[in-house]
A and B are shown apart, each in its own frame.
Chain A
């Protein structure tokens, strides 16, 4: 299991800031979402080869770019073009629409925490020697929901988009994230897990957490704080 950072958490971050955030939080790598509002330099509307004349389109080295995340697109050729960009970065490509591989790079089909969607994605992945990517907000799901999805996707699962982690988790008491991480561990999951914001996230809070603050929160310290507060009230 390799913990990564999605550029969704820092859409206005430059490549250098994304790398800095990864290193400060000791994260393994990056998931870069392709969209005009992201400042990492990759623009989904511009052909990567034309844009960079065949040169690497993101600073080389550590941390690596593990995935390029292509939001839903209407053009059938866009994934093929960006597969080349991902190949340049030695990254995989996350898609929300099934296509017909093979492409030049590993491809994973993103699905939500829905049994039919997970089953369809896993079927597609097996048929095309590809992978699945699971987008989940654990705080709103039960351990049973999580296990059912894992049972359906099995060895096709290569990436998890963990929505609502980061700074929100420090103030939370949800058991879903723990259940997810435990079940992934016990299943021997070797893929990536990208921290990403939920839809209602405070991105300014994320920026401070990634670039200014340290620490992930300690169980012992949290329990002591609870005891101190209950004692004083």
Chain B
């Protein structure tokens, strides 16, 4: 996985954002990550990850607004 995997979801149609994020996550190898860029705190997404990918994800905030949120999402288990 390249060092800089940045997924900016802002221009993606709203109903496609979560599916896109999950597809990107599922394409990661264990140990790899991507940086999610969003215009608001993706709390519902985090809840969805905890439910649907329980134990597979590490979630680390890199930036928390006010205009942009950046979250490092790492796949820690298959």
Contacts and interface: CB of A to CB of B under 8 A. Distances in A.
B6 A217 contact: no
A61 interface: no
Contacts of A218: 14, 17, 40
A221 B3 CA distance: 32
A6 to B, nearest CB: 12
Instruction: Pick from B1, B45, B67 the residue with the most CB of A within 10 Å.
Output: B67
Nearest to B68: A26
Interface string A2-25: 010000000000000000000000
A214 B70 CA distance: 18
Contacts, number: 99
Contacts of B7: 1, 181-182, 185
Interface residues of B, number: 31
A154 interface: no
Contacts of A172: 13
Interface string A205-233: 00000000001111111110010000000
A169 interface: yes
A185 B34 contact: yes
Given A181-B8, A222-B15, A188 B2 contact: yes
12 contacts: A1-B6, A170-B14, A178-B17, A179-B20, A181-B9, A181-B20, A186-B1, A186-B5, A219-B15, A219-B18, A219-B44, A222-B14
Interface of B: 1-20, 23-24, 27, 34, 37, 39-40, 44-45, 67-68
